[in-house]
Structure 1
């Protein structure tokens, strides 16, 4: 039993160490909090205060995010671009409030996407994105060009809110496929008929839906699952070995008693 206890203790310490390593980075947490507060201030039209928080974000991001390699190169690129747009939104003298909120929201969601492996916030945009596209599809199938243009513009604005987050969380090939189809819809918006667009719009709706499936699964570190699997396997093998030793010992003791009798 000492052998079993030693193995279990060693593996437990190793497993706890792996879990500790997976804890969120405090720098990333602080950056995410700054982005969240900037969004809340933007919603209340407190643009100067939001600007101050975004500038504080830029300093912290430069000091830790870049120098200490807290983020991957792709994350650095996406967050830098989203931050630039958010800062431009709150400092613009003639920007509409809704557009300001959209740009700062896109920045906020991108920050969350960096640190959230389970249920990133951008998944909550599924209904606005899908409902917006269905309006585009219905207008196209009805042959209503004016309504199609209006709904397509609204859909594109909604999609751009989650686009930075998609660049962080999705494979490049999958996102490129979606973006190319969106660009096609936008470029050839005036050249459609009900017959030409029906199948294409149905396919694209399925592609959009696929953005929101599978991402919310818990993406734990594969090495952690390996440790858990190995722990269970070793414990089972050890218990089997201990049971076998006990069985052999009892059998040997019975033989010794039989000889004595």
Structure 2
């Protein structure tokens, strides 16, 4: 009798766990869909409506229990940043779209699949290296700075979502390469050394993207990201953009936690 009761209790517990897991996965998918809705609304300058959806998102998130502490912090950081930018009167349309796109990419990376949206940025990101190497070979520093800004603009955009899928070690390696290239001493290096540094960064970034299964990119998201990136590159000079990035980091006073 006791044995039958124990078996029944175990079966009931298994059913409860299975049901809870299914509900949790459904809740995570709903959050991902909501982030896409917010992104689409922001694209069309429907900022008040986007904020209303974010309010609903916040309520729904409290019912999803499968997220780790690091994941909750990442979502919360992106959520708060997006709400702040959408409410900020002097924030440009470009800033709002970028914040919405970044949040969309983070939520997409939350879902357990092998073709995250951030992978759709492989082509434009990796394509910048051909131009960078050509400029180094031809000593075109102005074009180099412009192309480097383009690369950094796109990489900064996907970085929070990368922390969801890529190991901290890989991201640290990429960060060290970027730091070397952004130092003033990089311009004093020989042509061969510059090309070597760029190649190392290119190879490590390729390893990051290699884990993504090749799939069709979200055309609307990719188009907006590329357009937004182009706007930023046109609007800001090299020195101005570096100052812009530094101020943004100082303003946030925090760093996205790495989940791996």
Please give the range of the TM-score, normalised by the shorter of the 2 chains: 0.5 to 0.7
C-alpha displacement of 1:186: 2.5
Q: Which runs of 5+ in 1 are unaligned?
A: 1-13, 218-261
C-alpha displacement of 1:193: 4.3
C-alpha displacement of 1:196: 2.5
C-alpha displacement of 1:24: 6.3
2:108 pairs with 88, 106, 112, which one? Answer: 112
1:79 aligns with 2:78: no
Q: Match of 1:160, SS?
A: helix
C-alpha displacement of 1:44: 0.9
Q: Tell whether the 8 Å contact from 1:64 to 1:70 is kept in structure 2 after alignment.
A: no
Distance 2:120 2:70 in 1: 23
C-alpha displacement of 1:89: 2.6
Name 2:207's counterpart in structure 1: 210
1:145 aligns with 2:141: yes
Q: Match of 2:212, SS?
A: coil
RMSD: 2.7
Distance 1:128 1:137 in 2: 15
Structure 1 residues 132 and 116: alpha-carbon distance in aligned structure 2, compared to 1, 3 A threshold: farther
Matches within 5 A, 1:1-261: 25-61=25-61, 63-65=62-64, 69-188=65-184, 190-216=187-213
Larger Rg: 1
C-alpha displacement of 1:155: 1.3
Q: Tell whether the 8 Å contact from 1:32 to 1:111 is kept in structure 2 after alignment.
A: yes
- 82-91 or 156-165: which moved more? 82-91
Structure 1 runs, 4 residues or longer, greater than 6 Å off: none
How many residues get paired? 198
Q: Tell whether the 8 Å contact from 1:75 to 1:168 is kept in structure 2 after alignment.
A: yes
Structure 1 residues 141 and 56: alpha-carbon distance in aligned structure 2, compared to 1, 3 A threshold: farther
